[in-house]
Amino acid sequence: MHIHLIAVGKLKKGPERELVSRYLSRAAQTGRQSGLTGFATREIPEARETSPTARKNREAQAIRAACPPDAPLILLDETGKGLASRQLADKVAQLNDSGTRNLCFIIGGPDGLAPELRQQAHLILALSPLTWPHQIARILVAEQLYRITTLLAGHPYHRD
């Protein structure tokens, strides 16, 4: 299964981008034995419309265009469901085992995600009840993707 991390906004060169890259590189290496591959990141430019609703709708169009049509969507949102890492790994494994070819993790823009995307989501996931800057959210998601691959591979990185 190919894993796509799609985020609204651009990470500048620096430690945040390097950390995301490092975790996704590790995930790609560890994920191979579990059938998880292609840990790709796609950045969507922030929309320039004047109203938050219009911005969210424009960004939703770009997000859908960046996701393969068959891909379940896991949206990252502070109002989503909180899961333990092992629970998230189990959900990803179930999708992989069922023959899902693509899976998209979505980080929205500053205004959040359009209701249309929320309705299409396979899962709306909260990293925490706290609000995180998008740069840190991207790092956290990349680390969790690496952690998922280690859990599925039986690697000792994760400790319960």
Report, in this order, helix, strand and coil percent for the chain, each rounded to 5. 45, 25, 30
Domain extent, residue 21, equals 2-153
Question: Is 90 exceeded by the pLDDT of residue 130?
Answer: no
Can you give the CATH number for the domain in which 120 is found?
Answer: 3.40.1280.10
* Structure confidence by residue, pLDDT tens digits, 6-47: 999 999 999 999 999 999 999 999 999 999 988 989 999 999
Q: Based on the structure, what is the number of domains in the chain?
A: 1
* Structure confidence by residue, pLDDT tens digits, 55-102: 999 999 999 999 999 999 999 998 899 999 999 999 999 999 999 999
Any domain includes 133:
yes
Tally: H helices and E strands in the chain: 5, 5
Radius of gyration of the chain (CA): 15
Mean local confidence (pLDDT), 3-8: 97
pLDDT of residue 71: 97
State the sign of the Cα–Cα–Cα–Cα dihedral 82, 23, 160, 73.
positive
Give this prediction's pTM: 0.94
